[in-house]
């Protein structure tokens, strides 16, 4: 039986509708959530991602500030900029668009962002909190996948979830979030010799590799839920995922399309984290007023 589509566009829109109400409330309290986005160099894909983030901020009424630098920027200059944004009360979230040029150490830069403004959820403190299941900013893509599963009422407790990919920004945190929902989690990656043997056991399969149509229907157990994080170009230069959608949809119970699946959720969860950060600030203000 063909699978049901998990529609990230619709689910993302519904989350953004709720955000609009939360933003209105913040505005009534005299607070306008603000996001600073830093772009270094002229990577074409990064420019598109940054402009989509700005557009979404505008739609929702989130103040956004774009700071651009040439590719020859020094690490010191970038960290100085981050420090001034850390101290800026108009800014609730700071995002440094990755990848960065070679001369800049990504981990030094991400660690320079104040954890309370780290709306990408990449600061080591926030990653540690996530591992411990504490309240924190969750990395946007895995957080978005969890929302897709929640809205689609996919049961995770006791299920075997397999994550393909182990990057810091998608695969690793993805497995942790599934584990927190009581799934039994297996990670597979480029050095896994028996990939298919393992994916065939998956009740829930999350694919985050970056190889067009790598996962075909012979990797899928009947009735599995398949989430495709991949964003690639096919032979006709059309956007496609890591999953061969046409064949896999005949076997899966639920499947995300590309585009229109995980992609819209990543931006939505960035907005959610930014609003959350402004709400945290408001709570702090109220607490200090009551002292």
Binding site for ligand NAD (CB under 6 A): 141, 164-167, 169-171, 188-190, 195, 208-211, 229-232, 262-263, 266
Residue 164 β-bridge partners: 188, 207
∠ at Cα 135 (129, 136), nearest 5°?
A: 65
Question: In terms of CB distance, is 31 or 262 closer to ligand NAD?
Answer: 262
Question: In terms of CB distance, is 239 or 282 closer to ligand NAD?
Answer: 239
Asked whether the beta carbons of 271 and 19 are under 8 A apart, the reply is yes
What backbone torsions phi and psi does residue 263 show, to the nearest 5 degrees? -50, -55
CA nearest neighbour of 22 among 283, 267, 272 = 272
Angle between helices 171-180 and 124-131 (to 10 degrees): 30
Angle between helices 8-28 and 140-151 (to 10 degrees): 110
As measured in angstroms, the least distance from the Cβ of 238 to ligand NAD is: 14
As measured in angstroms, the least distance from the Cβ of 229 to ligand NAD is: 4
Question: In terms of CB distance, is 91 or 140 closer to ligand NAD?
Answer: 140
As measured in angstroms, the least distance from the Cβ of 285 to ligand NAD is: 33
**Residues annotated as part of the active site:** 53, 97, 120
As measured in angstroms, the least distance from the Cβ of 133 to ligand NAD is: 22
Distance (Å) of CA 92 to CA 131, 151, 240: 23, 27, 33
SS3 state at 76: helix
Question: In terms of CB distance, is 10 or 155 closer to ligand NAD?
Answer: 10
């Amino acid at each position: 039986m063909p699978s049901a589509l998990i529609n990230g566009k619709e689910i993302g829109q519904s989350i953004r509708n709720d955000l609009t109400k939360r933003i209105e409330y913040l505005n009534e309290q005299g607070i306008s959530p603000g996001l600073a986005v830093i772009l270094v160099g002229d990577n074409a894909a990064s420019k598109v991602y940054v402009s989509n983030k700005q557009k979404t901020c505008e739609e929702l009424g989130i103040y956004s500030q774009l700071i651009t630098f040439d590719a020859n920027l020094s690490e010191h200059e970038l960290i100085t900029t981050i420090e001034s944004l850390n101290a800026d009360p108009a800014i609730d979230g700071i995002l440094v668009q990755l990848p960065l040029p070679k001369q800049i150490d990504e981990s030094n830069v991400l660690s320079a962002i104040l954890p309370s403004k780290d709306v990408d959820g990449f600061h080591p403190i926030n990653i540690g909190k996530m591992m411990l299941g504490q309240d924190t900013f969750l990395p946007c893509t895995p957080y978005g996948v969890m929302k897709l599963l929640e809205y689609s009422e996919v049961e995770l407790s006791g299920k075997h979830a397999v994550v393909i990919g182990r990057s810091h920004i998608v695969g690793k945190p993805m497995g942790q979030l599934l584990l927190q929902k009581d799934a039994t989690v297996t990670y597979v990656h480029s050095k896994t010799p028996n990939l298919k043997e393992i994916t065939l056991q998956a009740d829930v399969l999350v694919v985050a590799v970056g190889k067009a149509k790598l996962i075909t229907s012979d990797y899928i157990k009947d009735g599995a839920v398949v989430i495709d994080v991949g964003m690639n170009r096919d032979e006709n230069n059309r956007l496609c995922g890591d999953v061969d959608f046409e064949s896999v949809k005949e076997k899966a119970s639920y499947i995300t399309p590309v585009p229109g699946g995980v992609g819209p959720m990543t931006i939505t969860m960035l907005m959610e984290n930014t609003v959350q950060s402004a709400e945290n600030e408001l709570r702090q203000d109220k607490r200090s007023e009551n002292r």
